Structure 1
Amino acid sequence: MNEKQETKYQLILDAAFEQMKENGFEKASVSQIVKRAGVAQGTFYLYFDSKSAIVPAIAERILCEQIDVVRNEVRDGDDILSIVRVLIDQTFALTDKHREVIKFCYSGIAYYDSFQRWEDIYRPYYEWVELKLQEAMEKKEIPSLSVLSYQAKLIIGIIEQSAETYYLASDPTKEENVDIYKEELFQFIKRALS
């Protein structure tokens, strides 16, 4: 995409993100999205063939935000357990921040796209965590792990599933202490890595 196309794409993505956050996926319409973006309706269809087609792009945007925040929090030389704490804290914070959008992303991407699209979106995140596990093994912080790519996916998966369970599936009237929940998750992953 050239710069002008990228700008329009981002305007549409921003508008869709906000529109769906405010009104939910079902109530958001393409006409509302393009009006908010300040582009013609035909422009929307240059980038997306339907409203559902924008869901993977929104999911990717949330994950890119996650990766950026995590990378900015992790410092060179941080041990693997410090990195796991950052992963947990930032995943929970982002899930809380975008809980409404995440709900429709799951249903929409499952409807619209294959699970391969999820793998493509997550690949940079998996690779980054895999690299951190490799570094931890080389520094003898953790024992040798058999298949690092699987370990990275498992760690990311359990953290995200835990955050989503806490924020999306929990009874909102039930008082659970998020710090205790995150600490239990941390201890579980710590034992798994030992």
Structure 2
Amino acid sequence: MLGKPCLLSEKTYAIIMTESQSMEGWSIIEEREVINSKKNRIREAAIKVLSLKGLEKTKVSDVVKEAGVAQGTFYLYYESKNALVPDIAEKMLLHMLKEMKGRISEEEPFRNQLKNIIEITFEITYLYRDVLGLCYSGMATTGFFQEWEQIYIPYYEWLEERIEKAQRRKDIRQDMQPSMIAKILVELMEGIAEQAYLFEGKKDKVVDYQKDLMNFSITALKCE
């Protein structure tokens, strides 16, 4: 029977309906959490397996065994093992962006913001050093270069906004496009951090690399 039960008061009926709607909302949230949990398990398992075996030798069966899920579950989220690569790269980048948003105030002078951005870039590069090589080799062999650019869009936009504000405050030079400055800075910072941790393995030189990078950047941008 549709409609309001005749034995309930207006107030009681309103409470029941509110709680019912709340429960429906929670069921949706819980379902999403289960989905995210399974996908995260697969992704974390993939990072572990890929780090040990590499992309070529890793099989989907290896990943699902490590994740503790059925092979069919894997294909609900990824069309192939190659599709893991941009997803892992996105997780790494979102982690870095979250750190930057949480630790860097836009009210600070841009010089201070830049110093913190450099430090966080090095921190995240070190944290994901075992995975970064896989991401790059995976991008090269699977052709996910377009996805790679898409992954970076939120980071570029965030940094570009900071640069625009710095230009309005005349903290830095105003004769360059913020979008170009953002891309140059990102490539420069990540390139040097990767050189330190991935290729040269000179952790003892990290402080010197950061100082040189900072000095070069503030000179190029004419930071006040």
1:94 paired residue among 121, 124, 131: 124
1:149 paired residue among 176, 179, 190: 179
Counterpart in the other structure of 1:34: 64
Is 1:74 aligned to residue 107 of structure 2?
A: no
1:60-103 Cα offsets, whole Å, 9 max, x none, are 00001110111111024111111111111111111111111000
In the alignment, the residues of structure 1 paired with residue 173 and residue 146 of structure 2 have an alpha-carbon distance, to the nearest angstrom, of 31
In the alignment, the residues of structure 2 paired with residue 113 and residue 14 of structure 1 have an alpha-carbon distance, to the nearest angstrom, of 22
The aligned length equals 192
Which amino acid is the alignment partner of residue 10 of structure 1?
N
Contact preservation (8 Å) 2:111, 2:218: yes
In the alignment, the residues of structure 1 paired with residue 194 and residue 175 of structure 2 have an alpha-carbon distance, to the nearest angstrom, of 27
In the alignment, the residues of structure 1 paired with residue 156 and residue 207 of structure 2 have an alpha-carbon distance, to the nearest angstrom, of 25
Bigger radius of gyration among the two: 2
Following superposition, the deviation at residue 23 of structure 1 comes to 4.3
Which amino acid is the alignment partner of residue 47 of structure 1?
Y
Counterpart in the other structure of 2:19: none
TM-score by length of 2: 0.79
Contact preservation (8 Å) 2:47, 2:131: yes
Following superposition, the deviation at residue 15 of structure 1 comes to 1.5
Counterpart in the other structure of 1:112: 142
DSSP 3-state at the match of 1:31: helix
Unmatched segments (≥5 aa) in structure 1: none
1:65 paired residue among 88, 95, 99: 95
2:207 paired residue among 158, 171, 179: 179
In the alignment, the residues of structure 2 paired with residue 177 and residue 82 of structure 1 have an alpha-carbon distance, to the nearest angstrom, of 21
Identity %: 38
Cα 1:175/1:33, change in 2 over 3 Å: closer
DSSP 3-state at the match of 2:80: coil
In the alignment, the residues of structure 1 paired with residue 70 and residue 120 of structure 2 have an alpha-carbon distance, to the nearest angstrom, of 36
Unmatched segments (≥5 aa) in structure 2: 1-27
DSSP 3-state at the match of 1:134: helix
Counterpart in the other structure of 2:51: 21
Which piece of structure 1 moves more, 109-118 or 125-134? 109-118
Contact preservation (8 Å) 1:24, 1:100: no
1:115-149 Cα offsets, whole Å, 9 max, x none, are 22111000000000000001101111112143211
TM-score by length of 1: 0.90
Counterpart in the other structure of 2:188: 158
Counterpart in the other structure of 1:189: 217
DSSP 3-state at the match of 1:57: helix
DSSP 3-state at the match of 1:49: coil
Cα 1:39/1:145, change in 2 over 3 Å: farther
In the alignment, the residues of structure 2 paired with residue 167 and residue 5 of structure 1 have an alpha-carbon distance, to the nearest angstrom, of 34
Report 1 or 2 for greater relative contact order, CA contacts < 8 Å, sequence distance ≥ 6: 1
Cα 1:150/1:49, change in 2 over 3 Å: same
